[in-house]
Amino acid sequence: MIDRKNYQKEQKAADSLAALGNRTRLRIFKLLVRAGHDGTNIGTMQRLLDVPATTLAHHLGMLAQAGLVEQERRGREVICTANFNAVNDVIGYLKAECCAGLEAPRSTRNHAA
């Protein structure tokens, strides 16, 4: 029997890590982490990362879809921020069973995709 709650956590972690599995998206995300809770606007990100606007928009969309980036329109600007709660959830998921031994919990057996 599949433990739905654990399955959803596992899927969310997989989606988040997959989104960060691209060098450009990882660079964008690291920049937003450095920017802190105030975030930064798209023009500044484009200038600092030297990424074309269309490429930046594509990768920001992927990060937003994964729940790792939040975007907010402030007047004429779009401010992007890292979703620190989502990052902490992924890290928590990875660390939850640290040093618990090699016997897989019942909820994750035979459910690898």
In the chain, pLDDT over 70 holds for what percent of residues?
A: 89
At 109, the pLDDT band (50, 70, 90 cuts) reads: low
Per-chain mean pLDDT for the chain = 90
- All structural domains of the chain with their residue ranges: 4-94
The SS3 call for residue 72 is: strand
Half-sphere exposure of 27 (CA within 13 A, CB side): 13
Q: Helices then strands (H, E): number in the chain?
A: 5, 3
Span 40-83, pLDDT tens digits = 999 999 999 999 999 999 999 999 999 999 999 999 999 999 99
Q: Are strands 69-74 and 77-82 parallel, antiparallel or unpaired?
A: antiparallel
CATH topology of domain 4-94: Arc Repressor Mutant, subunit A (1.10.10)
pTM over 0.95: no
CB 89 within 8 A of CB 5: no
Q: Is the dihedral of CA 86, 87, 89, 90 positive or negative?
A: positive
